[in-house]
Structure 1
């Protein structure tokens, strides 16, 4: 008559007999004390070994201090602490990077694992829906380890069986605020394992001044700024095409001019030609002397310049056919970078239908066939919708600056980019804080990287013109 039910099902029982209470007696199985003791000791041993293996320095320091005090007394302990403090101070002064790598970041990782992540793991997982409470027991993703560097914590997690990456990317706001960070980014380490990146500070908050002009002529990758982890931002332009999208004032000019600045020595050496299309007549016209005759502003001139680039591309393809499969820049066959400041003005907002078709056809031809023969396209636009630029998928590398809507992030960087942490719609509209800040998604990696391009001022451009004008006058 009575059916044994799990504890969580008792609250769902309803009686149809008035004034009759439901009597629920859960099934109880007595576990021998020795079994409980063995399980407890086994878990304690595994936990101790895990802590010793993952946090050797954090465990060794208090263990050593305790042993010295126990066997030699407080006097010896104080002398030892004084010697250790002096040695660490000298180490930090003489070689700070090695101290941080071997000691500092490991101690910080242990402290944040203990005080931030381990302490809040259960409530954050349960409230966010990534953990489950079933039959009186919590089933939680496993917190594997925490590592730190100068700007962020990286939390390695083992997902529950049956979970997907989308279950986590849908909850990045829960994770960020739950662990006291301004954002969270998710990458896949391997099957069933994720790495959650929680920034502790923003290395890109300050404006980056124009970088020095390279001393060596090279076609790239070109250093144009800095990544969020402090490493240089290297933009590949030779052998690819790059699309830069961002609202007005987002800093598209920083990416364009920083790229041109990094290519100046190669332009002077005859290894690079920059063909500039400036339909707004504002951004690129300031350094027009750098481009020589390869500058166009009116739509008809832009169409002619693009078709000339297609002709150059086809001529090279005819010569390379059967002889070489990739391009090596030489003075006879320089790398050609076609820079388009506002491509949407030419492909969508151009009232002359014939010109619009010519421009779209030329851009499509260059972006589909130009990489192998040394023709690259760097295009910038404000509106990334498909009806504005139909060829946006032909750009392997994409950069999203500040955007107006969250849906536009995936339009620029591809599906799922915002779920992985590319919050381009959250970038500050204040120029000092957000100009030049964006997310880069490369052809070789699905994970967006937060970056900031250096700001090339009007004075910097004037200096570039004064020093390098005429470098675009080659062939």
Structure 2
């Protein structure tokens, strides 16, 4: 016995009779040929108009030889093609930057739109779960635009009605590998629209030499490396606090020394003081002469130095109260940067409970009250767990270098950072490939920024000491 059912209803039936088969017979509606032709022609015309509207230059370049060939013969059309080709090659060789900006990246974006994204859009969306198949029809997010930079594709997408950003951040691995990329980062362009960043290659794969010491006296932002998009990495230290977390060998020292290196002219001018805490006696000790008597290694000395910083900060706050709300560095009231290497040893692993409480309390006071009066804290640690560093939320700017576990990424950068593409647990453990590579989440933006700090070698530090220590380390009146 056979029974005919329309549409998708046959999928939802279960037969309990072995000799009964459920057969699907789709309803057939005969459409007149003239209607089909009109629909096809209207779609063709709409597509041509859309192409002309979106790509006027490309269409003009493609149609110009055809017009010349029809008007003057095929030889003239072929000659025009040759002239245009030679002009483009000459431009690409002599003015590569302008050619890529105006022509090259547009052509690459058009090619990847056709060959990569439109070609694979439907299967990737359906398999990843971002598309829906309802009653025999596919509902897919709309691919709006593809643009290319020197290192990545920027894909603008219109979400389905009812979708959320989390639906996409939960499936970034599916999207990345579906389109042949290592990673995928999701950013909100506007309501209902997302921008997917899909890298074509890694511009941060090679180590960077130390950034030259600046000629201009400034308290920041300090250039310490390069961002993934090729722009210089400027780290703000005045008016904020910075927490750096990363496993052993991840390159935390590059951020510490890169910041100090960028502040050397201001230190010589008396506008900046760096107070260094080095409980491991390894990272900062090579440049100890730069800090003078503002260097501490023993836990008791670290506690005393932090409490001295709190005293100076509170005295300055008493003077500023009622007269100013922000700090401008001067020789009388310089910007004080407290650099702490391996802060977890002082706040969690220190066996002396009294010292541990003193250090934690001093750091809490500095991070809660120091910004307005010119005090900043830059702390580095290996283990980002809350029981190790319970004041990590007091650091507005955070940097995650190579981490051991995926859960640690959100511990450092905040909830949802890894879903947005901060894959700090995927950074290579090979020093040449991954040392100094990290994701930054700044107070001004929730989206993580991938960057690499330049490597400051031991020879660079010795040169810094030889050039700046004789002037910088002299203690001022009233210093500890």
Question: What range describes the TM-score normalised by the shorter chain of this pair?
Answer: over 0.9
- The aligned counterpart of 1:165 is 165
Gaps of 5+ in 2: none
Is it true that 1:290 corresponds to 2:290 in the alignment?
yes
Following TM superposition, by how much is the alpha carbon of 1:234 offset from its aligned partner in structure 2, in angstroms?
0.4
- The aligned counterpart of 2:405 is 405
The secondary structure found in structure 1 opposite 2:73 is helix
- The aligned counterpart of 2:199 is 199
The secondary structure found in structure 2 opposite 1:354 is helix
Structure 1 residues 10 and 282, CA gap change in structure 2 (3 angstroms): same
- The aligned counterpart of 2:474 is 473
Is it true that 1:115 corresponds to 2:122 in the alignment?
no
- The aligned counterpart of 1:347 is 347
Structure 2: distance between partners of 1:443 and 1:3? 65
Contact 1:57-1:106 within 8 A present in 2 as well: no
Write the mapping of 1:234-313 to structure 2, written as runs, cut at 5 A.
Answer: 234-313=234-313
Structure 2: distance between partners of 1:453 and 1:233? 8
Structure 1: distance between partners of 2:393 and 2:4? 59
Structure 1: distance between partners of 2:270 and 2:4? 85
The secondary structure found in structure 1 opposite 2:117 is helix
Write the mapping of 1:4-403 to structure 2, written as runs, cut at 5 A.
Answer: 7-17=7-17, 19-22=19-22, 24-29=24-29, 36-403=36-403
Structure 1 residues 9 and 472, CA gap change in structure 2 (3 angstroms): farther
Contact 2:3-2:22 within 8 A present in 1 as well: no
Structure 1 residues 4 and 215, CA gap change in structure 2 (3 angstroms): farther
Contact 1:274-1:472 within 8 A present in 2 as well: no
Contact 1:8-1:134 within 8 A present in 2 as well: no
The secondary structure found in structure 2 opposite 1:244 is strand
Following TM superposition, by how much is the alpha carbon of 1:166 offset from its aligned partner in structure 2, in angstroms?
1.0
Paired residues in the alignment total 474
Contact 1:141-1:157 within 8 A present in 2 as well: yes
Following TM superposition, by how much is the alpha carbon of 1:25 offset from its aligned partner in structure 2, in angstroms?
4.5
Question: Which whole-Å deviations, capped at 9, do the CAs of 1:183-215 have from their partners, x for residues lacking one?
Answer: 111111011101111111111011100011000
- Structure-1-length-normalised TM-score: 0.96
Structure 1 residues 384 and 15, CA gap change in structure 2 (3 angstroms): closer
Structure 1 residues 35 and 165, CA gap change in structure 2 (3 angstroms): farther
Structure 1: distance between partners of 2:370 and 2:16? 78
The secondary structure found in structure 1 opposite 2:339 is strand
Following TM superposition, by how much is the alpha carbon of 1:35 offset from its aligned partner in structure 2, in angstroms?
5.3
Contact 2:221-2:235 within 8 A present in 1 as well: yes
C-alpha RMSD over aligned residues = 1.8
The secondary structure found in structure 1 opposite 2:425 is helix
The secondary structure found in structure 1 opposite 2:150 is coil
- The aligned counterpart of 1:459 is 459
The secondary structure found in structure 1 opposite 2:208 is coil
Question: Which region of structure 1 is more displaced relative to structure 2, 200-209 or 85-94?
Answer: 85-94
Contact 2:140-2:160 within 8 A present in 1 as well: yes
Structure 1: distance between partners of 2:377 and 2:253? 15
Structure 1: distance between partners of 2:400 and 2:17? 65
Structure 1 residues 27 and 389, CA gap change in structure 2 (3 angstroms): same
Contact 1:55-1:110 within 8 A present in 2 as well: no
